[in-house]
Amino acid sequence: MLGILTDPEIQELTRWKRRDKQIIELRKMGVRFLVRSDGSIAVARAHIESLLGVNSKQVPREPQLRF
């Protein structure tokens, strides 16, 4: 599988079926995307995951004593 969202996933993300509305919504959301020569939209799955905080690896901090 490529790391590209499918058309149904883009519809779910934007809540729009029309591509022109999807493009407007993606821009409002700050999502980077490409429009292919056939007019379809390509959105990198990793970009969406990073925007939504999915797979963020937070390093646990060691407790610090306060005197």
Q: Tell me: the pLDDT tens digits for 19-29? A: 999 999 999 99
Domain encompassing residue 25? 7-52
Average pLDDT rounded to a whole number, residues 30-59: 88
Number of folded domains that form the chain: 1
* Angstrom distances, CA of residue 18 to CA of 2, 12, 39, 40, 67: 23, 12, 11, 10, 60
18: in domain = yes
48: in domain = yes
> Of 37, 2, 9, 38, nearest to 26 (Cα)?
9
What pLDDT was estimated at residue 14? 97
Give the global pTM: 0.74
Quick one: tokens of 27?
């821009």
Residue 44 DSSP SS3: strand
Average pLDDT rounded to a whole number, residues 5-15: 96
